Amino acid sequence: MARGPDGQGGGAGFSLADQLFNADSLRDLAQDYAVLPGFDADRFHREAVGGLEGRGLLERLDWIATCVERQLPAPFPAMAEALEATLPPPLDPALSDDDFGRFIHAVPGILAVRHGLEDHRDRALDLLYEATKRFSMEFYIRPFINRWPDQTLARLEDWTGDDNYHVRRLVSEGTRPRLPWAANITLDPAVPLRFLDRLHADPTRYVTRSVANHMNDLSKVMPDRVVAHLRDWQARNAQDPKEMDWITRHALRTAVKRGEGPALELLGYRPGHVRARIEGLAETVQIGDTLAFDVLLEADEALPVLVDYRLRFNRPKGTAEKVFKLKTGRLAPGKPLRLSKRHALKGNATTYTLHPGAHRIIVQVNGQDVAEAEFDLTA
C-alpha cells in the first residue's frame, strides 16, 4: 500500500515514520558518524531521538539532518568531505532489484541541497553521486535539475553509463515527471527520453523498472510519443525480448486502464467484436461482503483479450470509477470463455471509502466496453 510523506498507512496504529526513524535506527546512524573526529555520537542520538515526536517522515529526515549538521564543519566542501567519510559500504552490487537502501542515509542529500545548491553545485553533485550508492538520491537531484538544468543534465548524461546500477537508476528515477513524494521539476518531460533511450537496455531490473515507471508517467501527458518510443525500442532489439516485453507492459499499464487503442495494439490486443454478459451478480451486496460475478465472452474470430472491469461507485457528490484487472486470455470461435471474480468490498479500507447506493460494473475487453450491470450496495 502506498503511504504518504506523513508516514501513515498500513492499518490503524501503524507509522512508517516510527518504523524508519527510532532509537535503534538512529543509534546505527550515530555509529556511522562516530568515525568523525570530535563527533559526539551520544549527543547526536539524544538530540535526534528527542525531536522525533510530532514530526512526519520527511520532517524527521530534515530534523535528523539538522542534528548531524550541528557537528559538521560549516564550509560546504569540508562538510561534504566529512559526509563522504561516514558513508557505509555501497549497497550490494550483486543484487539487481529492490535495493533502495535505508532512509537514515538520506542525510547527505538533504545537506547537499541545503548548503551546496547555490554556491557549490559541482561538489554537491559529487556528493550525490557517492551517496546514491547507499540510498537513492532521487529526491535531492531534482532541485539541481531546476536550478542548474544544463549542468545537471550533463552529469546525468554521463551517469547513464556508470558501472554502478544505482547511479544509472538515479538518472531515470530523478527525472520522472511525477515522482511520488518528491518536489516537482520544471524540466520539459520529453528531455529525459534521451536518457531512457540508453537505459531501457540496462541489464538490471532495478533500472528497467524505473524506466518503465518513468514511461508510465509520460503516458499521461504524451501517450502517442510513449507508444512510438516503445515501438522503436522493440525494433532496436537492444534489450532481451522478455525484459522488453515486461518494460512495455509495465510502461503502458495506465494507458491500458484507460483503454487507449495504440497502447493496446502495441501489446497485441486489437479491437474486435466481442459478445459479453455478466452473470451471477447479486442484486444487493452489503459493505464488507464479497462481490461475486462471472463474465462470459464469445467471438466469431480468434482474438487475444485483455479483460478489465470498472466499478462505478456511488459517492456523496456524484460517482467515481476505479479500474481492476480481471484476466488475459484468448477467444476462439465456438469456444466461450468464462471468467469468475470475487471482489472484496471492504468497509474499512484506508484508501477508498464505500457509500451505500446504486453501483455498476462495466466489463472492458481490449479497451472497449462490452457489458455492464448494476447492483445495490447497502450498509
Query: Which cell numbers in the block locate residue 177?
Result: 515527471
Q: Residue 298: beta bridge partners?
A: 275
With 90 as the cut, is the pLDDT of residue 16 above it?
A: no
What percentage of the chain reaches a pLDDT higher than 90? 82
Q: Give per-residue pLDDT as tens, 63-100.
A: 999 999 999 999 999 999 999 999 999 987 777 666 77
Looking at the predicted structure, is the pLDDT value of residue 150 above 90?
Answer: yes
Grid cell, residue 86, equals 561516514
Burial class (CB in 10 A: 0-12, 13-18, 19+), 317: exposed
- Do the beta carbons of residue 284 and residue 245 sit within 8 Å? no
- CB count within 10 Å of CB 264 equals 22
User: What pLDDT does residue 11 have?
Assistant: 45
Instruction: Kindly report the CATH number that applies to the domain delimited by 274-378.
Output: 2.60.40.10
Average pLDDT over residues 355-367: 93
Q: Which residues does 353 contact at the CB level (< 8 Å), separation at least 6?
A: none
Whole-angstrom Cα distance, residue 139 to residue 91? Answer: 18
Integer Cα distance of 41 and 156 in angstroms: 35
- Higher-pLDDT residue of 9 and 324 is 324
| The pLDDT of residue 8 is above 50 | no
pLDDT in tens, 100-120: 788 999 999 999 999 999 999
Give the CA distances from residue 42 to residues 27, 130, 336, in Å, rounded to whole numbers and listed in that order.
9, 26, 70
The domain spans of the chain are 72-266, 274-378
Cell of 363: 466489463
Q: What is the pLDDT of residue 330?
A: 92
> SS3 helix, strand, coil % of the chain, rounded to 5?
40, 20, 35
Interstrand relation of 368-378 and 284-286 (parallel, antiparallel or unpaired): parallel
The DSSP output letter for 335 is B
Q: How confident is the model at residue 12 (pLDDT cuts 50, 70, 90)?
A: very low
pLDDT above 70 (res 7)? no
Q: What is the structure's pLDDT at 97?
A: 62
Which pTM was predicted? 0.83
pLDDT at 14 exceeding the cut of 60: no
* Residue 133 pLDDT > 80: yes
The set of cell numbers assigned to 262 is: 495504440
Class of domain 72-266: mainly alpha
What are the beta bridge partners of residue 303? 331
Q: Is there a contact between 104 and 30 (Cβ–Cβ < 8 Å)?
A: no
Q: What is the pLDDT of residue 51?
A: 96
Of 148, 44, 63, the C-alpha closest to 128 is 148
Residue 6 has pLDDT above 60, yes or no: no
Query: Rounded distance, CA 265 to CA 269, Å?
Result: 5
Does the pLDDT at position 4 exceed 70?
no
For the chain, give the longest Cα–Cα distance.
Answer: 80
Find the range with the poorest average confidence among 75-79, 175-179, 239-243.
175-179
Q: Which residue, among 219, 284, 212, has the nearest Cα to 251 in the 3D structure? A: 212
**Residues 6+ positions from 154 with CB-CB distance below 8 Å:** none
For the sheet containing 274-279, what is the strand order? 274-279, 290-299, 337-344
For the residues of 102-116, what is the DSSP string, one character each? -GGGGHHHHHHHHHH
Mean pLDDT of the chain: 92
- Alpha-carbon torsion, ordered 117, 122, 126, 127, to 10 deg: -30
Q: Residue 141 pLDDT more than 90?
A: yes
Examine domains 72-266 and 274-378 and report if their fold is the same. Answer: no
> Residue 21 in 3-state DSSP?
coil
**Considering only CA atoms, which of 262, 230, 261, 235 is closest in space to residue 247?**
230
Residue 5 cell numbers, joined:
510523506
Least confident of 194-198, 227-231, 265-269: 265-269
Q: Taking the alpha carbons of 139, 141, 144, 150 in that order, is the dihedral positive or negative? A: negative
d(CA 52, CA 57): 9
Q: Looking at the predicted structure, is the pLDDT value of residue 10 above 70?
A: no
